[in-house]
Structure 1
Amino acid sequence: MAKIRVAYEYSEAEDKSIRLGLFLIICGIVSLFILGFCWLSPALQDLQGKTANCTVLSVQQIGEMFECTFTCGSACKGTSLYPCLQIYVNNSESNSRALLHQDEQQLISNPKCSYIPPCERENQKNSENVLYWQEFWNKDVGYQTFTCYFNQHRRPEDVLLRRTHDENVLLHCFLWPLVTLIVGVLIVVLTICAKTMAVKAEAIQKRKFS
């Protein structure tokens, strides 16, 4: 009776292990699909942009103001204004004039300006923030060469100071789902191997006593 109970508990533990392994395998496959669809596609598009050397041609405020949204609490929001700063650079790859942007997110948010400051409640603080950035590019950067990124096919008249996505995104897209998938496969394989060895051991034991 005790042997039957132990065998039943062992069989139940095996079933749980196999179910866990299959669950991890399914999670790994689904994660690969979701992350590949949500992250991999935009990351690859971003990484297709070429690296170039840029030098500043002009830094100026154009006198146009844009709205931004600030928060002052959980239920407090409002809008304020910031001036539009345009930084034009020379793109060494195409040898053409291009508008510099912080990253692709900023380019999408405001394609006309080079910088969107952290939104403050007072317009004056926003203006001071933009002015500080303007002076930084005029005095600290000046005519020094720096690395920029551009996509000749998507937006040839714009360049980015940094990429939104990099190789780390591709790594995480594959690494963690792949680890989950491998762990699931190992659990299933080891459980099946253990079950097979137990059956063989039981058969050998029966032969000895027969």
Structure 2
Amino acid sequence: EMRVEGVLTAVEKQVWRRGVDGRGLERAKAQMPVSSVGEDRAILLGFTMMAFSVLMFFVVGISMVKPYVNSKWEEEAGCVLVQADILKEWVDCRGVSTVPCLRVMVNLTGSQQKALLHYDEESVHLTPECFYIPKCQMDRKELEDEVLKVKNNISAHLGGSLPCLADPTRHPGDVILNRKYTLRSALFALLWPSLMLGGGALLVGLVKLTQCLAHLCSEVCTEALESGGTSRYTHSKLYRLLKSGPHSPSQDSVN
């Protein structure tokens, strides 16, 4: 019996060491998070989306947000149409050709001051004297007919009043009908890069969360195997060893 207990103790220690040295290393390797190809591509896509969103913020900030911040066309005024005529000298159109210029004069109802009417604040800088210019074309007859048609429509409403916007500090002699750069347009332009930035950050966060959950699951499974699986494996090995061994307690008692 003393010999059997010694054999059992030696075998248990040997099996336990094998489990620690052999399978323990494999379990430690299994606990290390290994990123799959799909996860790497998802993370790369997320960072790419965030990079493009930053670039879009830069472009939108220059083209929409900055003009809105610098625009001071906020003072509402009443305008009365006084005169609409086509200038004899045609204006340059993007260096490609020349086009006719329709000039519209109005009177401000509050001060009775004359001013040039423009469609929006951008046309004040591009064509300071023109209310309307046609698109750049090479056919002069079509250009003249288009401008004449707009002039006739405005001339039919001479003497009528319409709401307009003024900037008396920087543009005292000009008024506009509509604002191109508004708070709504600026926010709408910022919506798309914001969605792309949020989508990229969400994608990267979900992938990282999945990897953390997989790592935690691997640790829990490993702890469960070390607590219960090793003892069951050791007892089964010992049972098979004692059953098949040449020296058993029954044989010793018989001898």
The structure with the greater share of residues assigned to helix is: 2
Matches within 5 A, 1:113-132: 113-119=130-136, 121-132=138-149
Alignment pair present for 1:38 and 2:63: yes
Q: Distance in 2 between matches of 1:182 and 1:94?
A: 51
Of 202, 210, 223, the match for 1:186: 202
| Distance of aligned partners of 1:16 and 1:61 in 2 relative to their CA distance in 1, 3 Å threshold | closer
Quote the offset at 1:44 in angstroms. Answer: 2.8
Q: Distance in 2 between matches of 1:105 and 1:122?
A: 26
Kept after mapping to 1: 8 A contact 2:46/2:199: yes
Q: Distance in 1 between matches of 2:108 and 2:70?
A: 20
Aligned partner letter, 2:153 = F
Tell me which residue corresponds to 1:175.
Answer: 191
Aligned partner letter, 1:117 = P
Kept after mapping to 2: 8 A contact 1:24/1:184: yes
Alignment pair present for 1:206 and 2:222: yes
Pair member with larger Rg: 2
Kept after mapping to 2: 8 A contact 1:106/1:116: no
Comparing both chains, which one has the higher relative contact order based on Cα–Cα distances under 8 Å and sequence gaps of 6 or more? Answer: 1
Quote the offset at 1:56 in angstroms. Answer: 1.0
Fraction of identical pairs, as percent: 24
The structure with the greater share of residues assigned to strand is: 1
Output one character per residue of 1:7-56: Cα deviation in whole Å (capped at 9) or x when no partner.
9875443333222222222222232123212321113333x312333211
Tell me which residue corresponds to 1:74.
Answer: none
Of 105, 128, 139, the match for 1:88: 105
Quote the offset at 1:108 in angstroms. Answer: 2.9
Q: Distance in 1 between matches of 2:144 and 2:159?
A: 24
Alignment pair present for 1:135 and 2:152: yes
Tell me which residue corresponds to 1:49.
Answer: 73
Q: Distance in 2 between matches of 1:12 and 1:120?
A: 54
Q: Distance in 2 between matches of 1:78 and 1:12?
A: 53
Alignment pair present for 1:18 and 2:43: yes
Alignment pair present for 1:29 and 2:46: no
Kept after mapping to 1: 8 A contact 2:46/2:203: yes
Tell me which residue corresponds to 2:211.
Answer: 195
Tell me which residue corresponds to 2:229.
Answer: none
Aligned partner letter, 2:121 = E
Tell me which residue corresponds to 2:176.
Answer: 160
| Distance of aligned partners of 1:38 and 1:118 in 2 relative to their CA distance in 1, 3 Å threshold | closer
Tell me which residue corresponds to 1:73.
Answer: none
| Distance of aligned partners of 1:196 and 1:9 in 2 relative to their CA distance in 1, 3 Å threshold | closer
How large is the Cα RMSD of the aligned pairs? Answer: 3.2
Q: Please, which moves more after superposition, 124-133 or 178-187?
A: 124-133
Structure 1 residue runs of 5 or longer lacking an equivalent are: 71-76
Aligned partner letter, 1:96 = Q
| Distance of aligned partners of 1:94 and 1:178 in 2 relative to their CA distance in 1, 3 Å threshold | farther
Number of equivalences: 197
Q: Please, which moves more after superposition, 190-199 or 18-27?
A: 18-27
| Distance of aligned partners of 1:92 and 1:193 in 2 relative to their CA distance in 1, 3 Å threshold | farther
Q: Distance in 2 between matches of 1:32 and 1:43?
A: 15
Structure-2-length-normalised TM-score: 0.64
| Distance of aligned partners of 1:95 and 1:26 in 2 relative to their CA distance in 1, 3 Å threshold | farther
| Distance of aligned partners of 1:164 and 1:21 in 2 relative to their CA distance in 1, 3 Å threshold | same
